[in-house]
Amino acid sequence: MTKSKKKNQARPPPGPRNSDNHPSNHQSKPAKKATQISCACSEYCHALCNPFEAKPTGLPTFPVLPSAKYRVFARGTAYTGTAGVGFISLDPRATAANDQHAIRYTSASYAGTTIVDGTNPGVSTAVTNAPYTSAQIDPDIVQYRVVGCGLRVRFGGTELNRGGFKIAFVDPTHRSVETRDEASLLSEPQAKKLSVTRNWTNLLYRPVLNSDLSFSSDTTPDAPYMAVMLVSPDTSIAELFEWEVYSLLEYQGANVRGQTHTNADPVGFAAVSAVANQTNGVMQGNSTGHVNQMMKAVHHYLGNGISGVVDVAQTIPKVANTAMTAMDIFEDVLEIGLPLLALL
């Protein structure tokens, strides 16, 4: 073969080095850990963080039951009363029926200083556009459960009248906020005292009880546990506030039409629920930003807070940094176990 042919001949790719000093023979570079959230859990995360824009979805958990998914809403205006105090309160469970007064809010004639029910003078009530009445919701026919729900409030009056503050509170154990006054709300660590602005203040539903994950037929709004108290610096001015309520619901039963399945993802559901319940249910500003932050937190939780099977190359470097390596533990087991076996 001539020299020119040898030059033109393609050289084989270099093989791995056999030298003992090459780093690849001692340790392999650990692969990056990647986490993935299912579509069902991603939609559930959106429902908890931004029920005002999220599409209807179901709880991605067992038992896997077909259900009809709805998003219902209500909106209106509230005012501070003659004592300079007003409020908007919400019971998410009552949003499932279109004849239950899930929302209570004050008019300019309200003379009280506490959160009360809708039968008091100066307090109005509102219902959602849910597809069923309370009479139709029955254990044997139609049942429901709340997937996500939110109340948002912003100042809607003239700039000249804007002043005072808001107290936003979601009770962490779903106790009723009725009879609570300004001092009582501010004594709660989860309550937030906020300035009056034209930006939305969002109060978000969090499932904290076992009953929150089960289908129910109880729509009586006897315990509103989400509320915004409005406090004006001038009792002679009735400050105007806009409010909106959006609720994502599942309905299940013999008389429910349009039922579809929801994929179950118990690991992802656990991560989303855990992260949601570690955050305050009161958030300011852009709901899309809240969704992105929570999704990052869920990925972090999946990567560090969930047990599972991963590549050994990923676990050894972490274990090696602890007080005992995996080999140390294995040697200790042998050291303790072999003498015991000799006694048998």
Q: Which two tokens stand for residue 287?
A: 């709901």
Strand-by-strand arrangement of the 143-155 sheet = 68-79, 240-252, 143-155, 201-204, 282-284
pTM for the structure as a whole: 0.79
Can you tell me whether residue 99 is helix, strand or coil? coil
How many CB atoms lie under 10 A from the CB of residue 111? 12
Residues 247, 146 contacting (CB under 8 angstroms) = yes
| 228 and 88 Cβ atoms separated by less than 8 Å | yes
Please spell the DSSP secondary structure of 144-181, one letter per residue. Answer: EEEEEEEEEEEE-S-GGG--SEEEEEE-TT----TT-B
**What's the CATH architecture for 39-304?**
Sandwich (2.60)
Predicted confidence at residue 296, as pLDDT, reads 87
- pLDDT by position in tens, the chain (length 344): 555 555 555 555 555 555 455 554 555 555 555 678 899 999 999 999 999 999 999 999 988 889 999 999 999 999 999 999 999 999 999 999 999 999 999 999 999 999 999 999 999 999 999 999 999 999 989 999 999 999 999 999 999 999 999 999 999 999 999 999 999 999 999 999 999 999 999 999 999 999 999 999 998 877 899 999 999 999 999 999 999 999 999 999 999 999 999 999 999 999 999 999 888 889 887 667 778 888 888 888 887 766 554 454 444 344 334 344 444 433 443 443 434 334 34
Looking at residue 292, its pLDDT comes to: 83
Residue matched to tokens 């406090």: 231
CB neighbour class for 201 (10 Å; exposed up to 12, middle 13-18, buried from 19): buried
